[in-house]
A and B are shown apart, each in its own frame.
Chain A
Amino acid sequence: MMLDVKHVTKQYGQKNVVEDVSVSIQKGKITSFIGPNGAGKSTLLSMVSRLINKDSGDIVIDGKNIKDSKSNDLAKKISILKQSNNVNIRITIKDLVSFGRFPYSQGRLTEKDWQHVNDALHYMRLEDMQNKYIDQLSGGQLQRAYIAMILAQDTEYILLDEPLNNLDMNHSVEIMKALKKMVNELGKTVVIVLHDINFASCYSDHIVALKDGKVVKGGATEEIIQQPVLKEVYDMDIQIEIINNNRICIYYT
């Protein structure tokens, strides 16, 4: 049982943004999509989560094609967090997180639903500020609130599109640690689009490298964070050092 992307293609005008991509996502792991701008990472993620329609190909989750599934059932199976969430309603963190229970409750939350909401708040350490309005939050707090909402949604698969954008270093590390913990403790499957290859290298089990809408290579982290692979993906020589058992890419000079 896993998430399978089979021969998926997406065209905008004449341009193939994603071209015949096939990827298998393993359960209970963190998989990262990396690649230069315009590689089609976010588009691929959006298609997997049905935010945009694909032109051809299939996406199969646990043996069931997503085009044969009801949107509401999918919402209990897979969740997505995009990078830009400009909500213009005034709402507290707790209310936001409670929206995560919509697929189950259709807006009428039961005792059990509230239990999930409180667990999610607790897990993301938001209990103290749960009654704060989201327009008063810093970028890192807001991102945590959204992740809590996705956690309350209680899906096996969690997809995140560049969750570290515009975050300080300490908040980025905090978010990545939380994701890792969700995989280890709660058995979630996390798929994440990352810009920073070192975060991808330090936290993911698998990496899929994309370029120009195609998969360059997919595999375990140690297989991808290799000089020849990165050279092909980014068109530059990247030196790789092992520091504290992590493969760190050095490309600044």
Chain B
Amino acid sequence: MRKGYLLIIALFLLSFISLFVGVKNISPLDLFHLTQDQQKILTVSRLPRLISILIAGSSLSICGLIMQQLTRNKFVSPTTAGTMDSARLGVLVSLLVFPAAGMLEKMAIAFAFALAGTFIFMKILDHIKFKNTIFIPLVGLMFGNIVGSITTFFGLKYNLIQSISSWLHGDFSMVIEGRYELLYISIPAIILAYLFANRFTLAGMGEDLAVNLGLSYKRIVNLGLIIVAFVSSIVILTVGTLPFLGLIVPNIVTIFRGDNIKKSIFPTAVMGAVFVLFCDILGRIIIYPYEISISLTIGIIGSAIFLYLLLGRNAHEN
């Protein structure tokens, strides 16, 4: 329990710091006599950035948690199940077919693709006889690569490769007032996830057991996948790809909290937010006054942690 408090303290502390790191100098002391300039920076850039970090970090982590529960595999997440790549394909299609479409329409298309991709992945899982824990994320990543190759094919044809990859490259520095509000839509999805947490836990124990306990298994799984695809496509459109997030945060939390989602969903959300905040602040101060994008910091820290988890697990199992 003590750890829980530490986490919340860290969350507030880092949020606070996040508000005051940047090229334009604003110190906490200025809070009470802000100049107009400073006020503007806070409301147009710093606050939106903080809010989007908090929402993206926590909601993607929860997505990871749900996926891991539903597939009963600790190494599945939106990045290792083709969800992210499918959303990316959706973005490309929306750019190609409806170039004039607004953010909402783009999101709808990306969501449709993300959902379809995740369903196909689940379908593949159903068909695979060989359910090795390590093998399943491999299949997911391969599947992601395939979807990626379709994106590349059309992206190359219409010369959109660089613009797509810079748009979808995870980066909070582009988040300013008026460009991130879409993220708020993911909050209801996360609340829904919280309400259904118990049922996800049950579904995670397998279809037979879940049906035996009177749960409509298929519906719960579908609901989970819809939430995951929805949140992933929103995040990818507003901030870009945040690799590994949905993978490592839930893994760390379940080490301490066990697999009951009801118990672990809140710590997962907080931990996700703290983790992204930390990586973001790090990226902002390392080569100050320039920035390293969050994709890269999360990519490096995340893969290091993931490898640690993977190899640590290896040692325990044998």
Contacts and interface: CB of A to CB of B under 8 A. Distances in A.
Direct contact of A and B (CB under 8 A): yes
A52 to B, nearest CB: 10
5 contacts: A12-B318, A13-B315, A13-B316, A13-B318, A86-B130
Contacts of B316: 13
Interface residues of A, number: 3
Nearest to B316: A13
Nearest to B318: A12
Interface string A80-103: 000000100000000000000000
| Interface bin, chain B | under 10
Interface in A1-59: 12-13
Interface in A211-251: none
A12 B318 CA distance: 5
Interface in B278-318: 315-316, 318
Interface string B107-144: 00000000000000000000000100000000000000
Nearest to A88: B130
Nearest to A17: B318
Contacts of A13: 315-316, 318
Contacts of B130: 86
A86 B130 CA distance: 10
B115 to A, nearest CB: 32
A12 B315 CA distance: 8
Nearest to A13: B316
Contacts of A12: 318
Of B130, B315, B318, most A-chain CB atoms within 10 Å: B318
Contacts of B315: 13
A12 B316 CA distance: 8
Contacts of A86: 130
A13 B130 CA distance: 26
A51 to B, nearest CB: 14
A22 to B, nearest CB: 24
Closest 5 CB pairs of A and B: A12-B318, A13-B316, A13-B315, A13-B318, A86-B130
B9 to A, nearest CB: 34
A94 to B, nearest CB: 26
A86 B315 CA distance: 25
B4 to A, nearest CB: 29
Nearest to A11: B318
